[in-house]
Structure 1
Amino acid sequence: MFVVTGYLTINPDLRAEAEAAIAAFVPATRAEAGCIDYRMSTDVLDPTIINGVEIWEDQAAIDAHMGSAHMAEFMGAIGSCLGGEATFTSHEVSSSTKII
């Protein structure tokens, strides 16, 4: 299993456009084979930050996601909305335990 974490820094003047791009992108991603969970949400301490958490069955699912048409469309739409850094990191996880 792979967990991907990261964030997008959004230009506050383009917040509505960013939210529209995300709203179209997330359901398409959640429907992908190998996607266990996919979430994007506003950071409660900094509304210019959109945090992302993804859970994938395997690297092949991530690779397919990265090459999907809706990913290309999203990257084109979100790119103009960025106001700073965007970074995501993949973590290979061998096990997990629910703590709450």
Structure 2
Amino acid sequence: MIVMHAELPVAPDSREEALERVEELAVESRAEDGVIDYRVTTDIEDTDTIRVIEQYEDDDAVETHMSSDHFEAFQAAIASCLAGEPELYRFDVDSKTQVM
């Protein structure tokens, strides 16, 4: 499994637009083959940071997502809402265990 974690710093005056755009992206992304989960959160300590947690079955699913029309459209649209550079982290996970 591959887990991606994105952090999007958004301009305060563009926060609502950014949330709408990333919510639409999440809905479309969850419908893709190979996507296990795709969730959007806001940071309670920094409300102008949006976090996206993505889970994929494999590299093919990541590539399909990154080259999808809806992801490319999102990247173009979100640019005007950002207050800085987004950060994206990838985690390659060998196993998953529910602790609680």
Q: Where has structure 1 moved over 2 Å in runs of 4 or more?
A: none
The Cα of 1:11 is off from its aligned counterpart by 0.3
- Name the residue aligned to 2:99: 99
1:10 shift after superposition: 0.4
Conservation of the 8 A alpha-carbon contact between 2:34 and 2:57: yes
Structure 2-normalised TM-score?
0.96
Percent of aligned positions that are identical: 39
Q: CA RMSD in A?
A: 0.8
Structure 2 unmatched ranges of 5 or more? none
Quote the residue 2:90 is aligned against: 90
Structure 1: where are the runs of 5+ without partners? none
Q: Where do residues 1-100 of structure 1 align in structure 2 (5 Å cutoff)? A: 1-100=1-100
Deviation of 1:53 after TM superposition, in Å, equals: 0.8
Q: Secondary structure at the match of 2:86?
A: strand
Which moved further from structure 2: 80-89 or 65-74? 80-89
* TM-score (ref. length: structure 1): 0.96
